Structure 1
Amino acid sequence: MDVRQLRYFIEVAKVKNFTKAAEALHIAQPAVSMAVKKLEQELELSLFNRQDKKVSLTAEGEIFLPHAKRILDDLRAAELEMAELKGLSKGEVRLGIPPMISAYFFPDIIRDFKKSYPQLHLSVLGEGAWRIQKMIGQGELDMGVVAGGNFPETLEVRRFLREEIVICVPPDHPFAQRKSVSLVEFIREPLVFYKEGYYIREFFLEVLKGAGSAPNIVFETNLFSLVKSLVRNGTGISIFLRMVVAADTDLVAVPFDPPLHLDLLIAWKKDTYLSLANRAFVDFLLQHAAEEWRSQAETG
């Protein structure tokens, strides 16, 4: 069994098409077909149904897929460990961050991390928390930021931040003069909200399950900058993490009564080797967050 066969098999299973798999792998399509066919011959099993140019996993293919992924994960972990034993000074951190907090909490962390570890390469992908969890599980990301407590047991997590969720309104809105607003009052208002898959939406809807009524959502988007603009022009009001609206002088942040807080966690795949580069980033992030918390406590 060849490692390339496993990679090709996994890619075809992912995109359900031999031609698209070949394009993603940057090789000729016949090479992918031949490698998968040889793998099937070695296993003496058919891994794919091939009908009318449509490709799907057979029952045997479904069973073999997690084994193939695990083999490649173990191989990558072994390569990382062996490289580090040889004193390799280079490394890569593939990190997923939800767009809302990427622009407000992480720029300074990324800058300072690069200063401390100039030899390490840090790549950041902006995705919703649900998509980040999936990509970590598939090995497309080393780690990422997830929220709250709704994450699979396959992830190892460390909390680095607890942030308040606040109501965001224009200065002329009646809530702007309030010290706090209840959940029931909030959901009666026209709401500009985030699309499914965004952590702040999922968290808030989970909180609302005990409220007894549904929110009045008038518009949905996956662009938090558009949410701000629609709040400014009076389309509706919304919610944000406090850090996201702290510097906006033309918007007013109003706490909930009782206050709502969201835990943000750094997550990676459980029982997977965490490279020195990734461990360095986790340690750096947790230390930075602890120092930030102490600074706020002293000034607060």
Structure 2
Amino acid sequence: MRLTLRQLQIFLAIAQTGSTSAAADEVNLSQSATSAALNELEHGLEISLFDRIGKRLQLNDNGRLLQPQANQLLDAARVIEQQFSPGFAQSGAGLRLGASTTVGIYVLPAILAKTHSDSMSYPNVTIANTADIAHAVANFDLDLGLIEGPCHQEELYAERWINDELIIVCAPKHPILNAGVEVKVPLKNLRSAQWLLREPGSGTRETVEQALLPHLHHLNCIGEFGNSEAIKYAAAEGLGIACLSRRVVADLLSMRKVVEVKTTLPKLERNFYLIHHRHKILSARLQDFLTSCRKMSASDKSIRTEHKQE
């Protein structure tokens, strides 16, 4: 065999950093050893993997072809090492989870609490917007993603998970409620209202636009925020109106710091998703965690069915 996993690891580090000197710090080697490993890999494959642009190395078409395959091989090797490390079956250590912000803040902690015991370590958790989590899962940087928006990468498997209700909220004294809290606000008033929105790339932003634009045609965005917490408090201060998960605003609703805006719109709902790479090797620990997530989904469906019957 003409290549090694170490060579692939060094190749990926160079692809990420753009130079052998920067990659050397990532893989704990000298710059000369890193350059030698790249030369050996290119010589063994009889191809060039980078275009040399001054001191910078830029992936060429050969390198872009190798990159996902190298990621997949290294991920498989990492899973093998973890599965046979002492105590791994009883530990969450080594499991890399990614969650979009709403899921990460309001849903994931409950799952971790149910799956955790005193003898276990928590998984490593990354919280970012949906697009960033999906990108990391596609690159094998994360083992599993829990996201609140549609997934567009073909290389990812997306499993529909938990249903989530979206509602429109504002401050109790917002002008849009001039006719009263219980009066349904007409669409023309929603079209002229000032909206508080998540940033582009957010699953919430995409879902809100998909739900509202067919009815309102445009949203007059007065401000964009990097997380839903900032939006709900901005709405509570009267800066605008917002469409957010009921989970996110439940606390401020109970304290009457925001109120739900009644409208003539149909009920707004979305789904959370579990995503992993289609070629991901699912370890026993990851399978157990997925099972816990699915149990939570079944419980969520049962609760919603009971509410409907009431």
Q: TM-score, length-normalised on structure 2?
A: 0.85
Contact 1:97 1:129 in 2 (8 A): yes
Displacement of 1:284 in angstroms is 0.8
Structure 1 distance, partners of 2:114, 2:36, is 48
In structure 1, the residue matched to 2:228 is 224
Question: Is residue 242–residue 253 contact of structure 1 (8 Å, CA) maintained in 2?
Answer: no
Q: Report matched runs for 1:40-79 at 5 Å.
A: 40-79=42-81
Q: Quick one: distance in 2 between partners of 1:292 and 1:147?
A: 15
Query: For 1:88 and 1:206, how far apart are their aligned partners in 2?
Result: 42
How has the CA–CA distance of structure 1 residues 184 and 128 changed in structure 2, closer, same or farther, with 3 Å as cutoff? farther
The residue number in structure 2 matching 1:27 is 29
Displacement after TM superposition at 1:38 (Å): 1.4
Which residue number corresponds to residue 141 of structure 1?
Answer: 142
2-structure distance, mates of 1:134, 1:93:
17
Match of 2:305 in 1: 297
TM-superposed CA distance for 1:20, in Å, is 2.5
Query: Shift in Å at residue 217 of structure 1?
Result: 0.4
Aligned to 2:277: 269
Is the CA contact 1:93–1:120 (under 8 Å) kept in the aligned structure 2?
no
- Which of 251, 263, 266 is equivalent to 1:258? 266
SS in 2 for 1:73: helix
Structure 1 pair 56–255 and aligned structure 2 pair: CA distance change class (3 A): farther
C-alpha RMSD over aligned residues? 2.6
Tell me which amino acid in the other structure corresponds to 1:207. Answer: A
1:168 maps to 169
CA positional deviation for 1:88: 4.8
Partner Cα distance (1:32, 1:228) in 2: 49
Unaligned runs of 5+ in 1: none
Cα distance, 1:180 vs. partner? 4.7
Q: Distance in 1 between matches of 2:62 and 2:297?
A: 46
Matches of 2:185 and 2:13, distance apart in 1: 50
**Residues in 2 aligned to 1:27 and 1:208: alpha-carbon distance in whole angstroms:** 53
- Taking the TM superposition and a 5 Å limit, the aligned residue runs for 1:213-252 are 213-248=217-252, 249=255, 250-252=257-259
The 5 Å alignment of 1:4-15 reads 4-15=6-17
Deviates more, 1:94-103 or 1:188-197: 94-103
Q: Select 2:101's aligned residue among 99, 102, 121.
A: 99
Deviation at 1:212? 6.4
Q: Does the 8 Å CA contact 1:95/1:144 hold for their aligned counterparts?
A: yes
Q: Is the partner of 1:56 in helix, strand or coil?
A: strand
Q: Which moved more, 1:289-298 or 1:96-105?
A: 289-298
- Is contact 1:120-1:277 (8 Å) kept? no
Instruction: Name the counterpart of 1:186.
Output: 190
Q: 1:197 & 1:224 partners in 2: Cα distance?
A: 13
Counterpart of 1:154 in structure 2 is 155
1:98 and 1:128 in contact (8 A); partners too: yes
Structure 1 counterpart of 2:147, one-letter code: V
Amino acid at match of 1:110: L
Distance in 2 of aligned mates of 1:38 and 1:182: 68
Q: Secondary structure at the match of 2:96?
A: strand
State the secondary structure of the residue aligned to 1:258. coil
Deviations 1:36-61 (A, max 9, x none): 11111212222112232122122322
Superposed CA deviations along residues 104-143 of structure 1, whole A, max 9, x for unmatched, are 222222112113x843541211011111111111111110
Classify the secondary structure of the residue corresponding to 1:69: helix
2: CA distance, partners of 1:57 / 1:271? 23
Query: Which range is displaced more, 39-48 or 143-152?
Result: 143-152
Q: Contact 2:200 / 2:206 at 8 angstroms: preserved in 1?
A: yes
Greater strand content: 1
SS of equivalent to 1:162: strand
Contact 2:112 2:122 in 1 (8 A): no
Residue of structure 2 equivalent to 1:16: 18
Q: How does 1:191-206 map to 2 (within 5 A)?
A: 191-206=195-210
- Name the stretch that deviates more: 287-296 or 196-205: 287-296
- Deviations for 1:154-187, whole angstroms, at most 9, x for unmatched residues? 2223333111111120011234714654665424
Q: Which runs of 4+ in 1 moved over 6 A?
A: none
Question: TM-score scaled to structure 1, two decimals?
Answer: 0.88
